[in-house]
Amino acid sequence: MPMLRALLVLAALASPARGQEEPSFLAGAKDSANHLKLYIDFAAKAGDRPDFTKLPVSDLFARVFDLKQLVTLPPSQANDVKWLPQWIATANAVVKSFLYFGVNPAATLTADQITIVKRNASDYEDQEAIALDYMIRISAREAQAVMRFLDQLSTEQRTPVRQEGLNRARNGGTEMIYGAVVTIAQGLKPANARLVSGAMSDTREVWSGFILPQYRPQLMSMIERAESATKDDTVRKDLAASSIALAVAK
């Protein structure tokens, strides 16, 4: 995930500053993520497929992608770049563990393995939509923190390495949002499409400014395709709002 790697670099370069420390509830969420990965690994060794709909696995999943806890956080601060990337990495690892169940995501996928990934995306569509909803929102918070962190730096502190990290983060954010739009265009169930489009719409002001201008037309074109592909009025409204935000962004 390009955005995540770039943000980890920026976090490592963060100067000591006052700000929010890692929220206490995230320790429990990380523990739940570890238990989920163990469960998925055990299912693979046993020749079974993970089932996220039954207890206690469903509770573990809900604790990792817990929007109620996320919204309790105060507004994003510059110092959040010191802990948010590690948390996003934890959540992202859970997503990869079920979407790439049965294949090695680090290797070049064969045709058969691509078929497996497509099956996983279909079987775990509900979980993918919940995860996308969460990742779009927490990543938008991360984008805000990155910009605030960079804004507080002096000219001398704006090193080429930091600028490169920012550019890579912005490119990675574009890829994530583009991928979310493609997922909608490919035919999510209406309820799942509303989760993803709603997250995009709610955070559109963040993403419209964070995404580099040269990539906005391509993203707007894909949004238009997704609008044409869906019959759900709420999804179409959300996508239109995101597209307008991109069009008027400076």
Tens-place pLDDT, residues 231-246: 999 999 999 999 999 9
Report whether pLDDT(198) > 50. yes
The pair of structure tokens assigned to 119 is 């099956």
Mean predicted confidence (pLDDT) in 73-98: 89
Confidence of residue 108 (pLDDT cuts 50, 70, 90): confident
Q: What is the pLDDT of residue 35?
A: 95
Q: Give the chain's mean pLDDT.
A: 89
Could you report the per-residue pLDDT of 159-194, keeping only the tens digit for each? 888 888 888 889 999 999 999 999 999 999 999 999
Return the closest-CA partner of residue 144 out of 170, 162, 164, 168: 170
**φ/ψ of residue 54, rounded to 5:** -110, 150
Q: Are 145 and 168 in contact (CB under 8 A)?
A: no
Q: What is the pLDDT of residue 136?
A: 97
Q: Are 97 and 36 in contact (CB under 8 A)?
A: yes
3-state secondary structure (DSSP) of residue 156? coil
Q: Are 226 and 243 in contact (CB under 8 A)?
A: no
Q: Give the range of the structural domain holding residue 137, as residue numbers without chain letter.
A: 2-248
Mean predicted confidence (pLDDT) in 144-163: 87
Q: What is the DSSP letter of 14?
A: P
Return the closest-CA partner of residue 141 out of 87, 222, 184: 87
- Euclidean distance between CA atoms 214 and 208, whole angstroms: 12
DSSP string, 31-78: HHHHHHHHHHHHHHHHT----TTSTTHHHHHHHHT-HHHHTTSPSP-G
Q: What is the pLDDT of residue 3?
A: 52
Q: How many domains does the chain divide into? A: 1
Confidence of residue 1 (pLDDT cuts 50, 70, 90): low
- Euclidean distance between CA atoms 70 and 23, whole angstroms: 10
Q: What is the pLDDT of residue 134?
A: 96
Q: What is the pLDDT of residue 63?
A: 93
Could you report the per-residue pLDDT of 51-68, keeping only the tens digit for each? 999 999 999 999 999 999
